[in-house]
Amino acid sequence: MSSTSATGKMFAAGIPIFIFFGQGFEHSVVNMFVIPTGMMLGAKVTIADWWLWNQIPVTIGILLGGWLLIGLPMYLTYGRRSAADGSLTKIEHDGQVREFAPSER
């Protein structure tokens, strides 16, 4: 967001993607393109092999990684928030409870 040119923004967005691929990680959405393309170009992979040995395990890994590496640390860092009407928010963290009005958030 700090770049003012479209080229700079595309380059900055591409760096994490290149690192992700460079380290050999897989993503289920990317595999939905890459593996069928390889199959059409002659790779000896069946649809059953793809789903059983790649797509399902990768999808489970992405979900667990998101929950454990993103969701859980965020929850533990910021505590539990509760207020149904949104008028007053209680934040419980490390045994301390504070109340905030919407303007103080």
- Whether 83 has a pLDDT exceeding 80, the answer reads no
**Cβ contacts of 34-43, under 8 Å, gap ≥ 24:** none
Is residue 1 domain-resident?
Answer: no
Is residue 27 domain-resident?
Answer: yes
Domain count, the chain: 1
Is pLDDT larger for residue 69 or for residue 16? 69
Residue with structure tokens 């045994």?
95
* Sequence-ordered list of residues with C-beta below 8 angstroms from that of 104, at least 6 positions apart, any chain: none
pTM of the model: 0.56
Segment 10-35, tens digit of pLDDT:
998 888 878 887 888 888 888 898 89
Q: What is the mean pLDDT of residues 99-105?
A: 56
33 backbone φψ class: left, alpha, beta (φ>0; ψ -120 to 50):
alpha
The pLDDT value given to residue 90: 58
The per-residue DSSP string of 26-80 comes to: --HHHHHHHHHHHHHTT----HHHHIIIIIHHHHHHHHHHHIIIIIHHHHHHH-E
Confidence band of 97 (pLDDT split at 50, 70, 90)? low
Is pLDDT larger for residue 58 or for residue 90? 58
Is residue 92 domain-resident?
Answer: yes
Domain residue limits at 20:
6-104
